[in-house]
Amino acid sequence: MNKAIKACIFDLDGVIVDTARFHYLAWKRLAEELGFYFSPEHNEKLKGVSRIRSLEILLEVGKKKLSAQEMELAAEKKNKWYVEYISKITPDEILPGAYELLIELKTYKIKRALGSASKNAGMILNRLELNRFFDVVIDGNKVSKAKPDPEVFLKAAEELKIKPKECLVFEDAQAGIEAAINGKMRCVGVGDPELLKKANLVVPDLANIEWKDLIKIV
């Protein structure tokens, strides 16, 4: 195959596991402590937004004002609750098809990396019992630039000792797809075809995907 793929790089949240609901539960808990209700609809405004900007939006919803010091403490409290929630996740929370695809890639001797902005990625993989499937884990502790900057994916390729053009990225966010493209990598979008239309291929999830069929398409 003239465009052989030698490695796959996976985003974590929305591809391997869904931790977004734990972020919501933590923000909702903070809102309740501040005396107002934060709905799932309000939470949609926080997607792809930094922690401090998310807090600003939450305060706007509740019509609350905090000092800079109070905001810093509130953000730390929210993160502490989020870590508490994800520390209890189990392998049952692995998204459909992810475990099977990782097994298949290992069988075919395709290298595997995780490329996530999360600083809790290592703990989450440990809780999901997926550590053994990844040759390399690049997370928020190893990179400083956010997607669509390709740093996280290029770092993964570098540690795998694989050329970017020989990597295939699995992503569920527009910024992640753009990061893969910026890194000169092919990519599979997992989710909404309209949002992820720049990907080489878009699938609703990783269920029923077989590697031998996938490499013919991408």
Domains and CATH numbers, the chain: 7-17+93-217 (3.40.50.1000), 20-86 (1.10.150.240)
Asked about 11 being catalytic, the answer comes back as yes
Q: Which of 11, 135, 149, 205 is catalytic?
A: 11
Q: State the DSSP string of the chain.
A: -TT---EEEE-SBTTTB--HHHHHHHHHHHHHHHTS---HHHHGGGTT--HHHHHHHHHHHHT----HHHHHHHHHHHHHHHHHHHTT--GGGBPTTHHHHHHHHHHTT-EEEEE-S-TTHHHHHHHHT-GGG-SEEE-TTT--PPTTSTHHHHHHHHHHT--GGGEEEEESSHHHHHHHHHTT-EEEEES-TTTTTTSSEEESSSTT--HHHHHHH-
Residue 1's pLDDT band, with cuts at 50, 70 and 90, is very low
pLDDT for res 144 = 86
For 204, phi then psi, to 5°, come to -65, -35
The pLDDT score that the predictor gives to residue 48 is: 63
pLDDT above 50: residue 195 = yes
Share of the chain above pLDDT 70, in %: 98
Active site residue 13: yes
Average pLDDT over residues 195-202: 94
Report, as an integer, the average pLDDT of 89-111.
Answer: 96
Q: Give the pLDDT mean for 130-138.
A: 97
* pLDDT above 50 (res 185): yes
Residue from 13, 92, 139, 213 carrying the catalytic annotation? 13
Does position 2 have pLDDT exceeding 50, yes or no? no
Average pLDDT in the 191-218 region? 91
Does the pLDDT at position 3 exceed 80? no
pTM of the model: 0.86
pLDDT-derived band at 140 (thresholds 50, 70, 90) equals: confident
